[in-house]
Amino acid sequence: MSSNSAKPLRGRPKTLDRDHVLDVAMEAYWKEDIGNLSLNEICRRSGVSKPGLYREFSNEDGLMKAVLIRYQEQVLDPLQQMLNSEASFRETLDSLISFATSASCHHESPMGCLFIKMRESRMHLGEATRAQVDFLEEQGLAAFGNWVERSKIKGEFSANMSPEFAAIYIDAQLSNASSQISRGEDPKIVQMMLLVAFSMLG
């Protein structure tokens, strides 16, 4: 027998397609009630066994956290880049309004924002996912605050409020708009409400 003959691998071969499972789970969590969506249903839709899913993600909390990180990379990180751009305050604000009131965050996605939905469904999340939600919330508020502070220095932000308060205000308005969109309310009306809410800022 040749010394170069392939030796059989120990244990079961890894057949789970992680990206496919994350895509299926993300769409399910995004479209449906997180509290009523079972792990068994995620397994059925993605065509994987529950033991296989546990081997890959440890538990349901691990899967949800992985989904949220994937969403962060695909949707939230580009928003952070938008806030850090050299565009004027008004241009960036208009882009945020457009993002929050679009039918979906990107082509063929469900309506609204998955991060906002998870934040509002905190009681149904595991410890690791809640910690990731808290981290992203803090990161978002810091990015809004830094953006406002830079805009103040450039004379583009005229409202009499601190960057910290402005960040909370902007986040609240965008979150409310996203929730309205996810409930199926008219994007044009939601957009007009945001324009009024932000008219005082500069």
pLDDT band at 108 (very low <50, low <70, confident <90, very high): low
Q: What is the CATH number of the domain that holds 97?
A: 1.10.357.10
pTM for this prediction = 0.84
How does pLDDT run across 7-57, given as a tens digit for each residue?
A: 444 544 457 899 999 999 999 999 888 988 999 999 999 999 999 999 999
Question: Domain for residue 41, yes or no?
Answer: no
User: Do the domain assignments include residue 61?
Assistant: no
**What pLDDT score does 26 carry?**
94
Q: Residue 108 sits in which domain range?
A: 71-198
Query: CA 180 to CA 194: how far, in whole Å?
Result: 11
Q: Is 23 a domain residue? A: no
User: Of 171, 78, 158, which is closest to residue 120 (Cα–Cα)?
Assistant: 171
The residue count of the chain comes to 202
- Which of 114, 102, 111, 103 lies closest to 75 in space, CA to CA? 114
Has residue 52 been placed in a domain?
A: no
How many domains does the chain fold into? 1
The reply to whether 9 falls in a domain is no
Identify whether 176 is part of a domain: yes
Q: Is residue 109 very low, low, confident or very high in pLDDT (cuts 50, 70, 90)? A: low
- Please report, for residues 90, 127, 129, 130, the alpha-carbon distance to residue 124 in angstroms, rounded to integers and kept in the order given: 37, 10, 10, 9
In the numeric block, which tokens belong to residue 80? 């952070």
